[in-house]
């Protein structure tokens, strides 16, 4: 069941899509530290093996912000993304498109007494999404959990050095 806290565009609400994945993790770091690692997209390939070739249009610091367009590769697919939601230390979301796929990936950071909980959810439409669901069932959930685990390791080690 989808989180009531994700602000889904109508076409990407889980009930309107072919693919929906939800993952969460507790992190013993404050939301500001988690946020710093999450928006530092240039660093993702160093700690999340399923991302590569991250290029941000016009961002010289390697960090995402509202409206940032970026290109990257994940699950073997070259994607074009655009940051749609950017609420520092709380929520981040982007769309992603490629031939045969349209996706929306959202992140939510919720403070806890021991740090925070991070929730990430993604929905997808398109032929490639349907084929991926059929041939790679469970892979996106597994890889997103690895992304969260990498984020946890990085955030619990301290702020990124840029």
pLDDT tens for each residue of 15-34: 999 899 999 999 999 999 99
Domain boundaries, the chain: 10-156
d(CA 102, CA 25): 25
The model's pLDDT over 45-73, given as tens digits with 9 standing for 90+, comes to 999 999 999 999 987 788 999 999 999 99
* One CATH from 3.30.530.20, 2.130.10.10, 3.40.50.510, 3.40.1080.10 for 10-156: 3.30.530.20
The number of C-alpha atoms within 13 Å of 5 and in the hemisphere containing its C-beta is 13
- pTM (two decimals): 0.93
Beta carbons of 133 and 18 less than 8 angstroms apart: yes
| pLDDT tens, position by position, 97-134 | 999 899 999 999 999 999 999 999 999 999 877 776 65
CA 160 vs. chain centroid, Å, equals: 18
């Amino acid at each position: 069941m989808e989180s009531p806290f994700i602000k889904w565009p109508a076409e990407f609400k889980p009930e309107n899509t072919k693919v929906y994945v939800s993952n969460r993790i507790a992190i013993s770091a404050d939301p500001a530290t988690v946020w710093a690692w999450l928006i530092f997209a240039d660093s993702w390939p160093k700690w999340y093996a399923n991302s590569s070739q991250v290029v941000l249009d016009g961002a010289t610091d390697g960090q995402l912000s509202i409206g940032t367009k970026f290109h990257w590769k994940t699950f073997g697919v070259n994607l074009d993304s655009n940051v749609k939601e950017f609420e520092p230390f709380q929520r981040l979301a982007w769309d992603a498109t490629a031939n045969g796929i349209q996706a929306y990936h959202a992140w939510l950071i919720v403070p806890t007494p021991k740090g925070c909980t991070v929730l990430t959810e993604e929905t997808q439409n398109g032929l490639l999404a349907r084929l991926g669901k059929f041939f790679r069932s469970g892979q996106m959930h597994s890889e997103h959990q690895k992304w969260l685990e990498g984020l946890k390791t990085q955030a619990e080690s301290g702020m990124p050095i840029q």
